[in-house]
Structure 1
Amino acid sequence: MKIEIINTDKGQIEYSIVGKGKPLIFLHGGHSNCKETLFHKGFDTNKYMLITPSRPGYGKTPLDDKYTPMKTADLIVALLNYLKIDKVVLYAISAGGLTSIELAARYPERVEKLILASAVSMKWLDKDGKVYKTAKKLFNPKTEKIVWGLIRFISRIFPRMVANNFYPQFSKNDAHQLEKDDIKELHATFKHYHSKTGFMSDIDHHVEQDKISEIQCPTLIIHSKNDNSVPYEHAVYANKMIKKSKLIGLNNEWGHLFWIGKDSNESIRTTITFTEE
């Protein structure tokens, strides 16, 4: 994997790139950055070029106080210009959803297809709600390094305990004995997590209500009915608003993280088939 930081006319951006072939841009979710590879699962790097930018506020892509999904979309297009890539398949995960909506709606000539995977498509968290208030306390720039440091430290000693505690954040399914390989995969994902300034920006993001209806490209919406992080209603709404969309509703074990678990192969295969159609 190659990681590079470049300066564009829209600002500085960090990105990773691996593979060669059909280009895909991954817009990662909250707490993540360009080093995450969970959502690369199943893609043949001899057939696909997998490009993952660190969204503003994550990794080494700076965030200013005026950053919006619209400005992030402009920055991603500047990256495509730098890479001399005309058109991509856009793959948005979780909190990366709103940026993908802006990008696909405003730059239709640059987006061949759109995948919304467990993705936010409308107002996400209620500012008066418990989840929002907890996120503000734990994952603000002053505390997030300590929080993620503790999570990783405890994970090395008690990996199953930490996984059991996080599982309900992702899935509505009842607590049960988690597979050892799934626990390893979860902690491998956490390895690169830092909220930095990005997550505080994510939870306040919004796009114009009618923006999503401007998307014209073929769109796959894949979302778990068991998602306990981004409600399934986001997928239903996106399917209603995007003309050329199809919705795949999952009944999987890990809910929001449908790339983990024995039933993940089918979900991953669905996304890859869509890119090849």
Structure 2
Amino acid sequence: MKSRLLPRMAFLLVVLGLFVLGGILAWFQSWRTARLVELYSASQMVTTPSGPVEYILKGEGPAVLVFHDAPGGYDQGIALAGFLAEEGFQVIVPSRPGYLRTPLENGGTPANQADAAAQLLDALDIEQASVLAFGWGGPTALEFALRFPQRTTALVFVGAAVGRLSPPISPAVPFPQAVGEGLTGDIGSWLYARLAENDPAQALRAAFSISSTGSQSDCEAWTGLVLDHPDQAALFQSMVLSLAPASPREIGLRNDLLQVRALPEMPLKTIQAPALLIHGGLDKAIPVAPVEAAKSQLPNAELILFPDDGHLLFLGRGAAIAQERITTFLKKYSTPHGE
């Protein structure tokens, strides 16, 4: 009798497992579809000489052009820079080529991306803008200032690459690299989003381990601080969602990795726009040494270093200070050369 029951039980377990798996996949597909609808309904498209560009606008006032980190998209940029709209600025965030609905065919080099951004400003009838760059948006911001000096009123770099890194370093990706591409990447980003929603402390620890060189005690202190501040906890959730789904961002991420390895030396000494560099001393994605070197070359630059912070500067003890300094700096230079 037992010999007959065992195959039946095994069969039932397999069927039950398939039902469970099917339900999970249906849940995932429903989430993915809803997420894409949400992403694409919140942004706008414009046709430029370089090609179509996806972007979002928020606020009114002096223009601030934002270049997001990798991986990301307009949603990540507006999550991080949206506070400026409440401070009297108009925030313009394009998805850089290869991210979301901006095709890589627009041109993948930082110079190409700067040209496309200038064309976006043309389409919006914006003559001048301050430029704010996060992470791997830094090279594009530098190229914009080099190629369009009369259109650049100020530069702000937050945890950003500001020139060649030696050796090149991969960007921080706060979910496992093993699930970083294709359908698996979409599932991985979905699982990380679920983790962040259901166990934010564990998700924060994972993000810290990839973005900071700090110790375990540093990690616990940082995690607790973020969770103790509802605004930072909400920002973290938005940042996690800005990685998901992963597949519409994969081409841009791969391109950024290629561009990082081929960054030319930039004539930083020729950039006349005032620059504010904000960086963490424990940044694991972009070490501080090249940033300090760039500061010494930029003619009109200020460096604010948070020695105990990592790559995620808008989360943690220095977040409010960093945002305040950015706001003050941009208000000072919101008209050409402070006039």
Identify the residue that residue 207 of structure 1 maps to in structure 2.
263
Mapped pair 1:157 → 2:207: no
1:189 alignment partner AA = M
Q: Deviations over 1:44-66 (max 9, x none)?
A: 43611011110011121011395
Larger helix proportion of the pair: 2
* Partner of residue 116, structure 1: 157
Which structure has more strand as a fraction of its residues?
1
- When normalised by structure 2's length, the TM-score is 0.74
How far the C-alpha of 1:244 sits from its partner, in A, is 1.3
Q: Which moved more, 1:47-56 or 1:136-145?
A: 136-145
Offset at residue 176 of structure 1 (A): 1.2
Aligned length in residues: 275
* C-alpha contact (below 8 Å) 1:172/1:226 kept by paired residues: yes
Q: Does 1:256 align with 2:300?
A: no
RMSD value over aligned CA atoms? Answer: 2.7
Task: Summarize the alignment of residues 4-43 of structure 1 with structure 2, pairs less than 5 Å apart.
Answer: 4-36=44-76, 37-40=78-81, 42-43=83-84
Q: Please state if 1:176 is matched with 2:230.
A: no
Gaps of 5+ in 1: none
CA displacement 1:156-215 (0-9 Å, x = unmatched): 333221211221222222221423244443222111213321111111214320333331
Higher alpha-carbon deviation: 135-144 or 227-236:
135-144
One of 282, 289, 293 as aligned partner of 1:237: 293
Among all aligned residue pairs of Structure 1 and Structure 2, give the percentage whose two residues are the same amino acid.
22
Q: Distance in 2 between matches of 1:166 and 1:232?
A: 19
For residues 76 and 130 of structure 1, the distance between their equivalents in structure 2, rounded to whole angstroms, comes to 22
Taking structure 1 as the reference length, the TM-score comes to 0.89
Q: Using the TM superposition, give the Cα deviation of residue 142 of structure 1 relative to its aligned residue in structure 2, in angstroms.
A: 5.9
Q: Does 1:216 align with 2:266?
A: no
- Maintained 8 Å contact 1:218/1:244: yes
Write out per-residue CA displacement over residues 242-267 of structure 1, whole angstroms, 9 at most, x where no aligned residue: 111111111344x2111112431111
How far 1:237 sits from its partner (Å)? 2.1
Question: Which consecutive unaligned segments of at least 5 residues does structure 2 have?
Answer: 1-40, 333-339
Q: Report the Cα offset of residue 80 of structure 1.
A: 0.5
Note if contact 1:25-1:89 (Cα within 8 Å) is conserved in structure 2: yes
Q: 1-side partners of 2:256 and 2:176: how far apart?
A: 11
Who wins on radius of gyration, i.e. which is larger?
Answer: 2
Report which stretch shifted further, 65-74 or 47-56.
65-74
Contact 1:22 1:47 in 2 (8 A): yes
